[in-house]
Amino acid sequence: MLALLASALVSLGEQDAWTNCLYNNKSIACRRQFLCTEAPCGVFKLEWIDGLSDVFTLQRPGVAKNVGFYSDSRGGEWMLRGYAGSFALKNLQNHNTIIFAMTLSQCRTSGLSDLCE
């Protein structure tokens, strides 16, 4: 039942609440909004509390179930890796890193710790 409700919310494209995020290990609040009419959704928008935003589109899945490769609206290529309800995006060209829904101390003790050293 809970999974069905979560799928319904994703399909409506509702924004997540503001949450702790990291951009290159600097703390800044962000929120996510899926941009599809049905789940699963391979397009989402990340909005930063300072007003900047970007749209990420799935290009291909990774070998592991929790990995995917995305492009942003400016042509950047990113690897997404999910972990326990959070995720990391690492830019494959410039190595910028986004961590969604974690503080730096949480990230350093998580399965994403190699991305927030």
pLDDT tens-digit series, residues 22-66: 999 999 999 999 999 888 899 999 999 999 999 999 999 999 999
Instruction: Report pTM.
Output: 0.86
- By residue count, the chain amounts to 117
pLDDT band at 1 (very low <50, low <70, confident <90, very high): very low
Residue 93 structure tokens: 């060209």
- Supply the pLDDT for residue 4: 37
What CATH number labels 2-115? 3.30.700
* Long-range contacts of 83-89, Cβ-Cβ distance < 8 Å, separation of 24 or more: 83/110, 83/111, 83/112, 84/110, 84/111, 86/110, 86/112, 87/112, 88/112, 88/115, 88/116, 89/56
User: Per the omega criterion (within 30 degrees of 0), is the bond before 40 cis?
Assistant: yes
Strand partners, 88: 81, 99
- Supply the pLDDT for residue 20: 98
- Supply the pLDDT for residue 6: 44
Phi-psi region of 13 (alpha: psi -120 to 50; beta: other; left: phi over 0): left
pLDDT tens-digit series, residues 57-114: 999 999 999 999 999 999 999 999 999 999 999 999 999 999 999 999 999 999 999 9
Q: Is the pLDDT of residue 12 over 70?
A: no
